[in-house]
Structure 1
Amino acid sequence: MSWKTKAGTAVSVATLAIGGAIATASPAAAVGGCAASTLCMFEYANFGTGGIVVNTKSTNKCINLDEFGYSQWTVHSYVNNLPATAMLWNQTTSGSWVKQRTLPAGGFSSDTGEWQTTNAVCIGNHTPNW
């Protein structure tokens, strides 16, 4: 075998080995344990216990958190794996709705600081109107 053939064979084997390593590499862990196409909100910083997972593919809906036992809930960390922005809302004692915070599409925060309480989360351009 000529030196050119040996060199070509060595390069081919090295390319296959590198390609195999890339193909079998494990995917990165999801931020905060939040799966794709979900919105995850956590009561504590650093994606701590007491989380709500909104498992929806809808990008234009509102969810009343009171219906799930989360009346006057506080969000301190979140992961938004949806392709749409989510907005947190609070209902005042007079019944009007006030925007609290925007959770951008594809965004996350491990510590948002102190937020006001939240009664609803709306995805896309939807607003609470129940």
Structure 2
Amino acid sequence: MQLKHIGATLTAALAVAGSMLVNAAPATAVGGCPSGKLCLYRSTDYRTLDFTAASTGACFWLSDYGMGRGTNGINSYVNNLPVKATIWESSDLNNWYANGTIRPGGFTSDTGAMTGEFSWWKESDKICTGSALP
């Protein structure tokens, strides 16, 4: 008899917990980056959002957004696109070198650009999404 009571109590508790999960509020977007966008920030901790893109197959000059050579670079990012994003560098605009990638769903609050630990976040010229090439 006691076993039936424990089983009924456990079933009721699981039903309540399950309904709470279904009705839970969605998590806040990382860094305030909207769903379906790639977001690049000039500052750490997702401050100074200067670039967003929804395209899954295009390239963008970082200098058009206050990032890249001669700037603080990309200091934090969120990739809410279903494709990777690749950062590229070129010394002569003919030969391009991939400096790194941001996986789909990837994010960081500090790329290390300001400390010089990962200088490609400061020295890159373009960012391309999906399979797009500079």
**Which TM-score applies when normalising by structure 1?**
0.73
Partner of 2:37: 38
State the percentage of identical aligned residues: 32
Partner of 2:58: 61
Give a deviation string over 1:68-125, Cα, whole Å, max 9, x none. Answer: 3436351011111112111112332x22333222111211111110233332111122
CA distance in 2, matches of 1:36, 1:27: 12
Give the count of matched residue pairs. 123
SS state of the match for residue 87, structure 1?
A: strand
Kindly indicate whether the alpha-carbon contact (under 8 Å) linking 1:100 and 1:116 is maintained by their aligned counterparts in 2.
Answer: no
Is the aligned partner of 1:70 residue 2:69?
Answer: no
SS state of the match for residue 25, structure 1?
A: coil
Is the aligned partner of 1:24 residue 2:55?
Answer: no
Partner of 1:3: none
Structure 1 residues without counterparts, runs of 5 or longer: 1-5
Where has structure 1 moved over 4 Å in runs of 4 or more? 6-16
CA distance in 2, matches of 1:49, 1:19: 39
SS state of the match for residue 48, structure 1?
A: coil
Structure 2 residues without counterparts, runs of 5 or longer: 114-120
Is the aligned partner of 1:119 residue 2:125?
Answer: yes
CA distance in 1, matches of 2:79, 2:25: 22
Aligned letter for 1:118?
Answer: S
**Which TM-score applies when normalising by structure 2?**
0.71
